[in-house]
Amino acid sequence: MTDDVDLGLAHLRVARPTDALEAVVRFYRDGLGLDLLYEFRDHDGFDGVMLGRKGAGYHLEFTRKAGHRTGKAPTEDNLLVFYLPDRVEWQAAMDRLLCQGHRPVASFNPYWDNHGKTFADPDGYRVVLQNAAWPA
């Protein structure tokens, strides 16, 4: 096929439901320092927010539907990993989470504890702040 699509140029949205929309927003916005890019209320019964960085190639979407329960993360190995090679920026990200009352948790895969810290969001999904560069 000659019409190859370059997904590397696509904008990535990671979307998931939550029962704790306000707490999740506080974790990712106030704790991780992401920007609130967009929010909506009662769109076909859904409320939601999109968080990320303006101009970045990704954003996170969290939604809630009234009367529908989504539950917690299915495992301790459901991860979002942020590679932060600059030690000062990595420490600042950690400090924001700590100031919000979030404490690191042991990683299910001990690899992530070698150069990073793992935090659980209000739904139990894990976020790794990795003090390393992504090997390009």
How much of the chain exceeds pLDDT 70, in percent? 98
Q: Tens digit of pLDDT for each residue in 70-115? A: 999 999 999 999 999 999 999 999 999 999 999 999 999 999 999 9
Q: Of 13, 26, 12, which is closest to residue 123 (Cα–Cα)?
A: 26
CATH 3.10.180.10 residue ranges in the chain? Answer: 7-65, 79-130
Please give the Cα distance from 66 to 59 (Å, whole number): 23
> Does residue 3 surpass a pLDDT of 80?
no
CB-count burial class (<10 Å; 0-12, 13-18, 19+) for 79: middle
How sure is the predictor about 9, in pLDDT bands with cuts at 50, 70 and 90? confident
In CATH, the number for domain 79-130 is 3.10.180.10
How sure is the predictor about 6, in pLDDT bands with cuts at 50, 70 and 90? confident
Residue 7: helix, strand or coil by DSSP? helix
Mean model confidence pLDDT for the chain: 94
User: What is the token pair recorded at 92?
Assistant: 């600042």
Residue 2 is predicted with a pLDDT of: 52
> Does residue 1 surpass a pLDDT of 80?
no
Average pLDDT of the residues in 16-26? 97
CA atoms within 13 A on the CB side of 76: 9
Average pLDDT of the residues in 51-57? 94
Domain 7-65 is classified in which CATH homologous superfamily? 2,3-Dihydroxybiphenyl 1,2-Dioxygenase, domain 1 (3.10.180.10)
